[in-house]
Structure 1
Amino acid sequence: MFYSLKKIAMALCVVALLAVCFSPIAQAQDYNKPIKIGWTAWSDAEAITKIAKLILEEKMGYDVELVMSDIGVQYQALKGKDIDLMLMSWLPVTHQNYWKKYASDVVNLGPLYTRAKLGWVVPDYVPTDKVDSIDDLTDEDVAAKLNNKITGIDPGAGLMQASEKAMDDYGLSDAGYELISSSGAGMTAALARAIKNDDWIVVTGWSPHWKFAKWDLRYIDDPKGILGGRERIHCLAREGFYQDVPYQVFEFFTRMYMPLSELQAVMLEASNTSYKQACAKYVKEHPERVHYWMTGEFK
């Protein structure tokens, strides 16, 4: 009987020791390189990237380095192993050109969120009988109200590549329109100015984005389907990532998934406070989801 109890006690000690050795913090102490995550200053990318950074650093004990650059550079950096991850691959349509070029050089860890959408957006006060579709933009009176401009974002974005094709296929370039390159922040600033003055404006837009919660906006129809349909946003890793990092890090990103409504709420909160505060609030208010991402266990 004593011998059996002794064996049980030893077994429990081994289990406890293994639990300590394989805990996220213990693994982090044995890994002394920063995890490099690429991102672009799009509101959804910033939100989910900074949530991941917060958890990896404060809950799991890893160092994280965020590397910001144009989306095309992110794909190149993954191929060159200059970054470990990017959390903003729009598939299957928006980034299809990048995917065709780099698919064999990266590892797809799965979707981070789904039901995303791209398109051209107008304030809801723009009459639907005047602007309901991209086809309507060629009307001379409509073009004059819009100053022959479509306000875009950074030129390397898949949305801008699709928008350039839409400009040609819908005859907007021939009608004198110009697609203005800007940035995510520049686009929302232009939208805010137009709404303040009740001016007409068309911007390149996507969901999730906090602007839909802040203002009354709508997508206009894209009869030719050039701008794509529903999209999934994937996490991509460099080749060899899963072999080089502790398995908890790799598995964290394979499990990380957010409902679109939750991500959009973080983005809206960040627009009113900061991404640091909004991400911290999300992590605090969703302990069970965060625990699952970290461990694979449901509380």
Structure 2
Amino acid sequence: MAGFNRRQFIHALAGTALLAPLLARGNILAESKTMVRLGVTDLSFHHATGAVVTAVLQRMGFAVERSYALHEANFEQLRVGSIDMIASAWIPSSHGLYKTRVEEQVATRELGLHYAPYALWGVPDYIPVSEVDSVEDLLKPQVKAQMHKAIQGIGPGAGITRFSLRMMDDYGLAAAGYSFRTGTQEECVGAFEKLVQTQRWGVVPLWHPQFLHFRHRIRDLKDPKGLLGSVDRAVLLARADRLDHFTATQIQVLDNIRLSNAIVAELDYAINRDGKSADQAAILWLDKNPQMLASWLAPLG
């Protein structure tokens, strides 16, 4: 991780039960010239998982070079070989199409299970469920009268954006006066927080995991047409031809990485609201959860 050298790593783990076994494993802390080029989708919760993966790679002696791009561009970099792996790919719904394009060029391998993401349209829980329980309820005259009509999304390459654009047409929302616009993660989050601040009715296209869920109660709207896709697997997606740099044991360590929606939402909150960098959030979390890191590293002996 940028700006975090070996001496700082040892200092960060001082005082934990994990330090002694790590120091005993020279193969983990050994210097290595092997560079891993890790693509990270340029949204904060992806930064969080990317930082965790980076920390694990560095503990196995790899140097890590991270690059940041939005969804589709990241997969194109994987396809042409500019990067070796992506943290994290959402398979099969959100990023499945991009993965297929990569595999037209090169085989891939899924490693680990970072969390179980899914897209949603959500409303603040102060909106009565009796009034708004489903996307179809947005068409009720009494709901339309109160609902903020602008629906603020994120970038055009995101799965939630693709799903939402189809929902606007298939549910007749555009014809009913609603509008959908793409933007940044900050604009999407800000739209929800502004609704809460003013206690206004509105709907925001979101996803799990995301730091808003760590702070707010957000109710998922039912999607009778099933346009929001399934629950995905968030994985480390690697080019198979780049795994030659890894031993079978090291690949097993990467495959052992298991997080959760709640863990990533916590890390994302630390980044967005506690002022931590992604690396700081990851190191602090790993320091508080040494048993989880130890379980991932167990194949190294």
SS at 1:296's partner residue?
helix
Aligned to 1:253: 254
CA contact (8 A) 2:195 2:201 kept: yes
Per the TM alignment, residue 72 of structure 1 is displaced from its structure 2 partner at its CA by 0.2
Q: Distance in 2 between matches of 1:231 and 1:51?
A: 20
Does 2:288 match 1:285?
Answer: yes
Contact 2:249 2:300 in 1 (8 A): no
Q: For the Cα contact (< 8 Å) 1:291–1:297, is it kept in 2?
A: no
Picking from 23, 29, 48, the partner of 2:27 is 23
Instruction: List per-residue Cα deviations over 1:23-73 (Å, max 9, x = no partner).
Output: 1344x42xx24321111233431211111223333x334321211111001
3-state SS of 1:108 partner: strand
Counterpart Cα distance in 2 of 1:107 and 1:192:
39
1:96-175 matches, within 5 Å, as: 96-104=96-104, 105-175=106-176
Unpaired segments of 5 or more residues in structure 1?
A: 1-19
Query: In structure 2, what is the Cα distance between the partners aligned to 1:148 and 1:192?
Result: 16
Instruction: State how far apart, in whole Å, the 1-side matches of 2:118 and 2:72 are.
Output: 20
Code of the aligned partner of 1:182? G
Q: Pairwise mapping of residues 40-79 of structure 1 onto structure 2 (< 5 A)?
A: 40-57=41-58, 59-79=59-79
Residues in 1 aligned to 2:144 and 2:35: alpha-carbon distance in whole angstroms: 50
| One-letter identity of the residue aligned with 1:281 | L
Aligned mates of 1:36, 1:249 — CA distance in 2: 16
TM (norm. structure 1) is 0.83
Aligned to 2:299: 296
Aligned partner of residue 55 in structure 1, secondary structure: helix
Question: In the alignment, which residue of structure 2 is the partner of 1:13?
Answer: none
1:23 aligns to what SS in structure 2? helix
Instruction: Report the more deviating stretch, 124-133 or 68-77.
Output: 124-133
Equivalent pair of 2:51/2:279 in contact (CA under 8 Å): yes
Distance 1:106 1:33 in 2: 21
RMSD, aligned CA: 2.4
Match of residue 212 from structure 2: 211
**Is residue 117–residue 207 contact of structure 2 (8 Å, CA) maintained in 1?**
yes
> How far is 1:151 from its partner?
1.4
Measure the CA separation in 1 of the matches of 2:192 and 2:151.
11
The secondary structure found in structure 2 opposite 1:233 is strand
Cα distance, 1:21–1:194 mapped onto 2, change above 3 Å: closer
Structure 2 runs not aligned, ≥5 long: 1-23
Amino acid at match of 1:60: M
Residues 130-175 of structure 1 show CA distances to partners (whole Å, capped at 9, x for unaligned) of 2211111123443343342211111100111111111111111222
What percent of counterpart residues are identical? 25
2:5 paired residue number = none
| CA distance 1:160–1:201, shift in 2 (3 Å) | same
Quick one: distance in 2 between partners of 1:21 and 1:126?
A: 54
The secondary structure found in structure 2 opposite 1:121 is strand
Distance in 2 between the 1:21 and 1:272 partners?
Answer: 36
Give the distance between the partners of 1:67 and 1:184, measured in 2 at CA.
18
Looking at structure 2, the residues matched to 69 and 115 of structure 1 have their Cα atoms a distance apart, in angstroms, of 21
Query: Cα distance, 1:97 vs. partner?
Result: 2.1
Number of the residue aligned with 1:93: 93
Distance in 1 between residues matched to 2:54 and 2:71, nearest whole Å: 19
Could you say what secondary structure the match of 1:230 adopts? coil
Letter of the 1:191 partner, please give it.
F
Q: CA deviation at 1:181?
A: 0.5
Superposition pairs for residues 229-244 of structure 1, below 5 Å? 229-244=230-245
DSSP 3-state at the match of 1:250: helix
On the 8 A contact 2:111/2:238 being kept in 1, the answer is: no
In the alignment, what sits opposite 2:19?
none
Aligned to 2:4: none
Q: CA contact under 8 A between 2:209 and 2:265: conserved in structure 1?
A: yes
What is the TM-score normalised by the length of structure 2? 0.82
In 1: Cα distance, 2:152 partner to 2:144 partner: 13
| Aligned-partner SS, 1:83 | coil
Give the drift of 1:257.
Answer: 1.5
